[in-house]
Amino acid sequence: MSNCIEIRGLSKTYKNNKQLIEALKPIDLDVAQGEIFGLLGPNGAGKTTMIKLMLGIIAPTSGSCHILGQDISSLQAKELIGYLPENHRFPLYLSGQQMLEFYGNLGGMSGKTLQTRIDEVLEFVNMTEWRKLKIQRYSKGMMQRIGLAQALLNRPKLLFLDEPTDGIDPVGRMEIRQILEVVKSEGTTIFVNSHLLSEVELITDRVAILRKGVVVKAGNTQELTQSHDIFVIHLAAGTPPSDLAGMTHFSANTQEIELIAGTPDALNAAIDALRKHNCLISAISPKKSTLEEIFIALMHEKQEHLTPA
């Protein structure tokens, strides 16, 4: 799969009254076509700076960013992008339909082509019923769905979402997740910036974690949350021996054992020991940590212990 976003040595230093703020140190990052990519990081880490650079809203101090081979400063690159900003403020006195007409016109669409596309996106985000209602009267979930409709109007190849599910109830969040899954299945790349880690974990294929302008971790969401040397062994019957083949076994009750097994040999030795003690194993699974646990651990590590990913 080729890349949708290619970032090379991209950095941003703000100058404020002679004071230099290094918001983003030189970063390399690739986002593959058709994946959902999450950008995480605490307040002030540089997430918005990075999104603004990728949208061509601010100029980089160094480096480059290409969207499907087009330099981000070009109009061609911008035509490929859809964007749902954080805390968007669409004119409240417009109906959803009128707002879409307004943004469609701004994007150079008009007439029958625009009306047909508006019908499509409204149907897609399940807002057809409320198209004539003023935005003022929309719920937060409806507000985000109409925002998504706006971001999808120009059939973008790359969709940027800033905190798309913030302040939305679980059902509304699920609806947005379902919409994004369909958008992804149509081949659109999605770049999402969010504080809701449990949410990010559910939708992203890969994530990068930013801290003080440096990517401290990047990778496949599944792989990051899957620990490779801690296993949970479930027992249907039997009592495990207190010392499992000399391995550190740090939590046990009669149904579940957590153990550290760095190699398949070590794991099998533990299984042998359990079987010898007439334990009936019903399942063995690698322990999953949440993205939140990984995030918090990374934020507590001293900067010098972190190797840029």
Ligand X SMILES: Nc1ncnc2c1ncn2[C@@H]1O[C@H](COP(=O)(O)OP(=O)(O)OP(=O)(O)O)[C@@H](O)[C@H]1O
| Contacting positions for Mg ion (CB under 5 A) | 48
CA–CA gap between residue 154 and residue 71 (Å, rounded): 19
Nearer to ligand X, 49 or 95 (CB): 49
- CA–CA distance, 149 with 98 (Å, rounded to integer): 12
Cβ proximity of 230 and 260 under 8 Å:
yes
Answer yes or no whether residue 154 interacts with ligand X by CB under 6 A: no
Nearer of residues 13 and 115 to ligand X, judged by Cβ: 13
**Residue 17 makes contact with ligand X by CB under 6 A:** no
Q: Kindly indicate which of the ranges 36-44, 114-122, 256-264, 294-302 contains the residues binding ligand X, using the contact rule CB under 6 A.
A: 36-44
Residue 96 within binding range of ligand X, rule CB under 6 A: no
Q: With CB under 6 A as the contact rule, which of the stretches 30-38, 45-53, 122-130, 253-261 interacts with ligand X?
A: 45-53
β-sheet with 214-220: strand ranges across: 81-84, 158-162, 189-193, 36-40, 206-211, 214-220
When the beta carbons of 48 and 97 are compared against Mg ion, the nearer one is 48
Q: How far is the CB of 120 from ligand X (least distance, A)?
A: 32
Which of 5, 16, 23 has the alpha carbon at shortest distance from 62?
Answer: 23
Shortest Å distance, C-beta 88 to Mg ion:
14
Q: Cite the DSSP H helix spans in the chain.
A: 47-54, 75-79, 96-106, 111-124, 140-152, 170-185, 197-203, 221-225, 264-276, 291-300
Quick check: 217 binds ligand X (CB under 6 A)?
A: no
Tell me how far apart the terminal alpha carbons of the chain are, to the nearest angstrom.
Answer: 21
Among residues 9, 14, 136, 285, which is the contact residue for ligand X, using CB under 6 A?
A: 14
Choose between 35 and 162: whose C-beta lies nearer to ligand X.
162
Q: Which option in Mg ion, ligand X, none does residue 14 bind, with CB closer than 5 to 8 A by kind?
A: ligand X
11, 49, 144, 189: residue in contact with ligand X (rule CB under 6 A):
49
Is 97 in a helix, a strand, or coil?
helix
The alpha carbon torsion through 177, 158, 137, 166 (nearest 10 deg) reads 50
Q: Residue 166 in contact with residue 140, Cβ under 8 Å?
A: no
Buried b / exposed e over 20-38, threshold 16 CB at 10 Å, is eeebbbbbebebeebbbbb
| Rounded-to-10 torsion of CA 67, 70, 76, 78 | 30
Which of 5, 7, 10, 23 touches ligand X by CB under 6 A?
A: 23
Candidates 16-24, 215-223, 244-252, 278-286: pick the segment binding ligand X (CB under 6 A).
16-24
**Which of residues 213 and 240 has its CB atom nearest to Mg ion in the complex?**
213
CA-nearest of 114, 191, 203, 193 to 153 is 114
CB of 294 within 8 A of CB of 211? Answer: no
State the binding partner of 41 from ligand X, Mg ion, none, CB within 5 to 8 A by kind: ligand X
Residue 44 binds ligand X (CB under 6 A)? yes
Interstrand relation of 81-84 and 158-162 (parallel, antiparallel or unpaired): parallel
21 binding ligand X? (CB under 6 A)? yes
Q: Which stretch binds ligand X (CB under 6 A): 37-45, 216-224, 225-233, 276-284?
A: 37-45
Determine, following the binding rule CB under 6 A, whether residue 16 of this chain makes contact with ligand X: yes
Using CB under 6 A as the binding rule, whether residue 251 contacts ligand X is answered as no
Smallest distance from ligand X to CB 136, Å: 26
Residues of this chain that bind ligand X (CB under 6 A): 14, 16, 21, 23, 41, 43-49
